[in-house]
Amino acid sequence: MNSPAPCPHPSRRSFLRHTGTAFLTLPLVGYGRLVGQTDRAPANSRLGIGLIGTGRQAFHANLLPFLVSPDTQVVAVCDVDAWRRGRTRQKVEDYYATTAPTGGYRGCFATGDFREILARPDIDAVMISTPDHWHAYMAVAAAQAGKDMALEKPITLAVREGRAISDAVKRHGRIFRTDTEVRFANEFRLACEVVRNGRIGRLQRVQAGVPQEQPALPPAPEQSVPAGLDYALWQGPAPARPYAEARVHPLENLNGRPGWMQIHDYSLGMVLNWGTHLLDIVQQ
């Protein structure tokens, strides 16, 4: 595969201004393989899934449902951090090796550039689990590329970004899903059932809160970008800042909250992280 062209790094304002036109030139691939078997379908009839972003949430939560589903096959993973994408590819290949006749599997493609995922004709849908500042850009690009998608919460950092995704999904006839797994947790479902059935009487007021934010990050000294991390592509549409591990994510570590979740260039903090879940429950 030829090396991809340098990734465009539009500002958020530029993104909002230009989402009415295509800003990535990608082939359009139809959603052509619908399956409904109760047993595991043959490999060539399952939906090809590409993971974009293989950090903590993807590795520990989002990957497994696609691995165990009889209707999906994880065919590619993408992350700008070589260690993370290598670890995730190994997890995919180790899982599929357990059911392979030869006891081995080496069929998972790995890349550091999400555009290579979107350009693959064997990928029907993508799971986007990147830092929040990339969500809108990648979701619109996925729709333009003819991919259905699941997108981590929060969907976007601005209402206009959400409108851009909605318009692109409608324009290109794609299927869109956002991940709010708390909605399906037993305790929340039971609470909603109790309220909806009037077991506590007429509801007068609902109060929702979020966990306390982590302490503010102290100023982090500039560091050299580690080998294996494409920091320019990690920043993407966010303002360019000097690299510091504390503002990105811990190296070779998939546990704990990454620093970017406390920085407004990339995220809006706990109110969108946990607030997305809890306000969703209130709206049920």
**Confidence (pLDDT) at 160:** 96
Instruction: Report the alpha-carbon distance of residue 76 to residue 47 in Å, rounded.
Output: 12
Residue 11 clears pLDDT 60, i.e. is over it: no
pLDDT value at residue 43: 56
Binned at pLDDT 50, 70 and 90, residue 42 comes out as low
Residue 8 has pLDDT above 60, yes or no: no
Residues 52, 263: Cα–Cα separation, whole Å: 21
Whether residue 37 is predicted with pLDDT greater than 50 in this model: the reply is no
In the chain, what are the domain boundaries?
A: 12-179
pLDDT band at 39 (very low <50, low <70, confident <90, very high): very low
Rounded to whole angstroms, the Cα distance separating 164 from 244 reads 31
164-215 confidence digits (pLDDT tens): 999 999 999 999 998 777 777 888 889 889 998 999 998 888 888 877 777 7
List, in sequence order, the alpha helices (H) in the chain.
12-18, 56-57, 63-68, 82-97, 114-118, 135-144, 159-172, 186-196, 231-235, 270-273, 275-283
DSSP 87-111: HHHHHHHHHHHTTSTTS-----EEE
As a CATH number, domain 12-179 is 3.40.50.720
Mean pLDDT in residue range 106-110: 93
For residues 141-165, b (16+ Cβ closer than 10 Å) or e, as one string? Answer: bbbbbbbbbbbbbbbbbeeebbebb
Tens-place pLDDT, residues 228-261: 999 999 999 999 999 999 999 999 999 988 999 9
What's the mean pLDDT when you consider all of the chain? 84
181-196 burial, b at 16+ Cβ within 10 Å, e below that, comes to ebeeeeebeeeeeeee
Residue 198 burial (C-beta neighbours within 10 Å; 0-12, 13-18, 19+): exposed
Best CA proximity match to 95, nearest among 111, 112, 72: 72
Percent of the chain predicted with pLDDT > 70 = 84
Per mean pLDDT, which range of 41-45, 96-100, 144-148, 156-160 is the poorest? 41-45
Q: pLDDT-derived band of residue 1, with 50, 70 and 90 as boundaries?
A: very low
* Residues 245/223, Cβ–Cβ less than 8 Å: yes
The two structure tokens encoding residue 3: 């090396």
Tell me the pLDDT tens digit for each residue of 88-107. 999 999 999 998 888 788 88
More confident residue, 191 or 32: 191
